A and B are shown apart, each in its own frame.
Chain A
Amino acid sequence: MTTWIDIGPLDAIPLRGARKVTTAHGCVAVFRTAANEVFALDNACPHKAGPLAEGIVHNRAVTCPLHNWVISLESGEVLGSDEGQVATFPARVEAGRILLDAARLVARPSAA
């Protein structure tokens, strides 16, 4: 069952930006695209655990600030010639508020 938690207003994240949300198990990066979509991913690049929330957001992807790996916000997959996968979490916008799935975040295993 999905339990949506309101984590804040959409405006708190800049367009083509991200903020992080701390959980008991580690950080989740919440992204806002140019089209006002939101995505939530593990805030750690599969390469060297770079903080994805600090990356440059373009289209539906983010570039890790450490070594420029590009990660799909939709699937969590690493794009291009590199390989890897980042965990993704349900996220949506309702009435200008960002909602995350609390059940998943609480239930998730500790960060690898």
Chain B
Amino acid sequence: MTKKLIVIGAGMAAGRLLEHVTDNQPETWEITLFNAEKRGTYDRIMLSPVLAGDRTYPEIVTHDDAWYGERGITTRFGERVTNIDRAAQTVTGEDGVALPYDKLVIATGSKPFMIPLPGHDLEGVIAYRDLEDTERMMSLSPGQRAVVIGGGLLGLEAAAGMAARGVDVTVVHLMGHLMERQLDEAAGFLLRKSLIDKGISIRCSTNSKEILGENGQVRALRLDDGTELPCDLLVMAVGIRPSTALAKAAGLAVGKGIHVDDQMVTSDANVLAIGECVEHNGALFGLVAPLYDQAKVAAQTLAGQDAAFVQKELSTKLKVTGCDLFSAGDFQGGEESEDIVFRDPARGVYKRLVLRESRIIGAVMYGDTADSGWFFGLIRDKTDISEMRDTLIFGPAYQGGTSVDPMAAVAALPDEAEICGCNGVCKGQIVSAIEGGATDLGAVRSTTKASGSCGTCTGLVEQLLSVTLGADYAAPAAQPMCGCTDLTHEDVRRLIKSQELKSMPAVWQAAAFKTPDGCHVCRPALNYYLLSEWPQEYRDDPQSRFINERKHANIQKDGTFSVVPRMWGGITTSDELRAIADAADKYNVPTVKVTGGQRIDLLGVRGEDLPDIWADLGRAGLVSGHAYSKGLRTVKTCVGTDHCRFGTQDSTGLGIKLEKVLWGSWTPHKVKLAVSGCPRNCAEATCKDVGVVCVDSGYQVGVGGAAGMDVKETERLADVPTEQEAIDVTVAFIQLYRENAKYLDRPYKWIAKVGLDWVKARVVEDLAERQRLIDAFALSQSIYQKDPWAEHARDRAESFQPLASLHQEAAE
């Protein structure tokens, strides 16, 4: 015996409901489906990709006439329901015939809210709700103008979609920042910035006053400050209101929406309601996930099963390519809540987690949402995060232990989990691409487009490759810094920056070090990263330095040291040479050698004698040559115009100036410079970290040369006309290297990673950035540019002596 089921509305909730009903109770119901729109069910949230041209309408249809036909459902599309008679249990359509029901489901959805501004009924003023609205926006030609009122999710998707079609779009938003319901101010700012980059004009804190028309057609929007924004189309996307008129007329209990209980039953036991038209425990629904839950519960209720709808945490993503944002839970915080914030201004990344009582209650992310699924899970499951709090914000990849193994996390994701937010690619698509032969990142990118846009999900895609292919996948290995931590140099450096870690113990804590205080590999690197990031706050730790930098001399194989005084640009005097000769005699220096960098090396000095020999050399005006440091070593020069008949510029003078600016700075590895006075290049400038070759028209500044384990010619960074500019470019380059290179990467290795163009953009082309680099270097030099020899001879001479001598005691 079949019962009669009538469903009003064929939106996404109704489509899903009828799927469940016909799957689970195929013979039970005789179903009639009314829909005011002239079509079946389509994925309304995919209208934005249709608008942007990323999808077509047929691709987003989920249940068409044929589908309903196969399921034996009578469809009355394009027909409104005029009356519900609950006493008689009938529904009347436009044909005036009362149709009986045993059960009725109201799924009338919602209507866009139109602000009743003067002129809101003009032709060309639309909402953003259905395919007609979408098609209307798609009909605009490049160069035409559109105004969108409302900077929420829908408004921005409409704006981005039209802008992608070349339409000149302005968004007018009443509130102070975009998407204020989903984003905090910081994320709203980043979103605004990327939309502006897409050519969209954004006006926040702006009130609309009147819509102006001409011959019944919209012409412009007038703001309350009098500004007129001309437009060919005006889209209002300021929110939706549940469609409750029919239910209200039928006498059902209606508040903001149609009241339903946990079983989705209205105040009438034979009438259910689902979707955007309902109100459940005071809440309204606009996102698809709870609608689908409601559809499932309603289907179970119809089948006489026990089921209850439970409101869950919701998350939001914006479907605009290149604007990766994610928001979930309560991000307003409150008194008892704490924040963890991560910012990377260079990449435009912002992440904020709101915690209360060791649980995440809200998350906002912008620019990098790769871990959003994981965070959302923690919010939904109310996971206690106190154990991983310090590295929480870095996502599952940074959590130790097996319970949060990122591979397991990825493996556990459902097939429909979205991996690539930019291109809307979910896990299932990627896995089938991999199984279909796309066995590396490039192949997955070209077949699915996953990670092909902003690239923030690259790590996830690689994990999927690894999970799917197992041992067959050779991951590009990210080497951890050392055995003390799983993090790479880059990770640790990012941590130091983002968490403002200013001491070694803070880094050990935050980077989840497995050792109590690091090792000889990581400690010197950490010491460098900290002092280069926080020159004013961090205090250099000599105990984390290799002996050469701790004792400011190079240790030799027999435990003695070598001493190399600085000779600016390789220039010396007879007085300096005399002082060096005297020191060599006084301290019985066995070997005196001229170095490759145009200095004199005193080899075989006893450790105990170092402070004394430094003091003696210091009296002659000689300072440390830093021949032992990861820092500026030497600037080698030729004699240039002073003496040479081919010299084009004062290469010696420039070399001395460069050395005077750069000496004493700490860098990721040693840095050697040279300045040649003409292209004959006698100073061998083209195999140095920075090499300047003087020419008639100025200075050719090359970088990234090497003449050690690798031999490499410099690449041209810039040709500059003046000596000052050659110095500026060099200093800015060194500072960029200091800020970004991995410890123990010489400049040529670093450049190979970031690309010379990236360096040029900052050092040569962006003059503001060049100046910032120069200023940052100067700040660091104000602290670190001092002669360590003088300092040690004066203050720390005692530490070079044995702590005790037990000869006497032994003799006694």
The contact of A19 among B524, B545, B802, B810, by CB within 8 Å, is B802
B545 (CB) vs chain A CBs: closest residue: A56
Beta-carbon contact of B547 and A54 below 8 Å: yes
Answer yes or no: A102 CB below 8 A from chain B CBs: yes
Beta-carbon contact of A8 and B803 below 8 Å: yes
The contact of B806 among A21, A50, A51, A57, by CB within 8 Å, is A21
Answer yes or no: B198 CB below 8 A from chain A CBs: no
Beta-carbon contact of B806 and A5 below 8 Å: yes
Q: How far is the CB of A84 from chain B (nearest CB, A)?
A: 17
The contact of B559 among A16, A22, A51, by CB within 8 Å, is A51
Beta-carbon contact of A58 and B520 below 8 Å: yes
- Residues 519-556 of chain B, each 1 if its beta carbon lies under 8 Å from chain A, else 0: 11001100000000000000000111111001100010
- Residues 62-78 of chain A, each 1 if its beta carbon lies under 8 Å from chain B, else 0: 01011010100000000
Chain B residues lying within 8 Å of A14, measured Cβ to Cβ, are: 542-543
Answer yes or no: A87 CB below 8 A from chain B CBs: no
Beta-carbon contact of B516 and A50 below 8 Å: no
Answer yes or no: B807 CB below 8 A from chain A CBs: yes
Chain B residues lying within 8 Å of A66, measured Cβ to Cβ, are: 555, 557
Beta-carbon contact of B559 and A68 below 8 Å: no
Q: How far is the CA of A5 from the CA of B803 in the complex (A)?
A: 13
Once A23-B807, A24-B806 are accepted as A-B contacts, the answer to whether A56 and B559 lie under 8 Å apart by CB is no
Q: How far is the CA of A24 from the CA of B559 in the complex (A)?
A: 19
Answer yes or no: B517 CB below 8 A from chain A CBs: yes
Q: How far is the CB of A56 from chain B (nearest CB, A)?
A: 4
Beta-carbon contact of B803 and A34 below 8 Å: no
Beta-carbon contact of A30 and B803 below 8 Å: yes
Number of A-B residue pairs having CB atoms within 8 Å of each other in the complex = 97
Beta-carbon contact of A20 and B803 below 8 Å: yes
Q: In chain A between 58 and 101, which residues have their CB closer than 8 angstroms to a CB of chain B? A: 58-59, 63, 65-66, 68, 70, 98, 100
Answer yes or no: A46 CB below 8 A from chain B CBs: no
Q: Which of B542, B543, B550 has the most CB of A within 10 A?
A: B543
Beta-carbon contact of A56 and B809 below 8 Å: no
Chain B residues lying within 8 Å of A16, measured Cβ to Cβ, are: 517, 543-544
Beta-carbon contact of B523 and A65 below 8 Å: no
Q: In chain B between 614 and 633, which residues have their CB closer than 8 angstroms to a CB of chain A? A: none
Answer yes or no: B479 CB below 8 A from chain A CBs: no
Beta-carbon contact of A102 and B806 below 8 Å: yes
The contact of B519 among A20, A63, A98, by CB within 8 Å, is A63
Q: How far is the CA of A7 from the CA of B802 in the complex (A)?
A: 10
Beta-carbon contact of B543 and A19 below 8 Å: no
Beta-carbon contact of B542 and A24 below 8 Å: no
Beta-carbon contact of A59 and B520 below 8 Å: no
Chain B residues lying within 8 Å of A49, measured Cβ to Cβ, are: 559
Chain B residues lying within 8 Å of A102, measured Cβ to Cβ, are: 806, 809-810
The contact of B520 among A23, A50, A63, A100, by CB within 8 Å, is A63
Once A8-B804, A13-B803, A21-B806 are accepted as A-B contacts, the answer to whether A54 and B555 lie under 8 Å apart by CB is yes
Answer yes or no: B518 CB below 8 A from chain A CBs: yes
Q: How far is the CA of A17 from the CA of B546 in the complex (A)?
A: 12
Beta-carbon contact of A56 and B523 below 8 Å: yes
Answer yes or no: A105 CB below 8 A from chain B CBs: yes
Q: How far is the CA of A100 from the CA of B803 in the complex (A)?
A: 12
Once A16-B517, A54-B555, A63-B520 are accepted as A-B contacts, the answer to whether A7 and B804 lie under 8 Å apart by CB is yes
Beta-carbon contact of B516 and A59 below 8 Å: yes
Beta-carbon contact of A105 and B806 below 8 Å: yes
Interface pairs A-B: 10 shortest CB-CB: A19-B803, A63-B520, A7-B804, A56-B520, A54-B547, A16-B543, A65-B547, A51-B559, A23-B806, A22-B805
Report which A residues bind B (CB closer than 8 A): 5, 7-8, 12-17, 19-24, 27, 30, 34-35, 48-51, 54-59, 63, 65-66, 68, 70, 98, 100, 102, 105-106
Q: Supply 15 further A-B pairs (C-beta < 8 A) apart from A24-B811, A30-B803, A55-B520.
A: A7-B803, A13-B803, A14-B542, A16-B544, A22-B805, A22-B806, A23-B810, A24-B810, A54-B607, A56-B544, A56-B546, A58-B515, A66-B557, A70-B520, A102-B810
List 26 A–B pairs whose Cβ atoms lie within 8 Å, in order of A's numbering. A7-B803, A7-B804, A8-B803, A15-B543, A16-B543, A19-B803, A20-B802, A21-B802, A21-B803, A21-B805, A22-B806, A23-B810, A24-B811, A34-B516, A50-B559, A54-B547, A54-B555, A54-B607, A56-B545, A59-B515, A63-B520, A65-B546, A66-B555, A102-B809, A106-B809, A106-B810
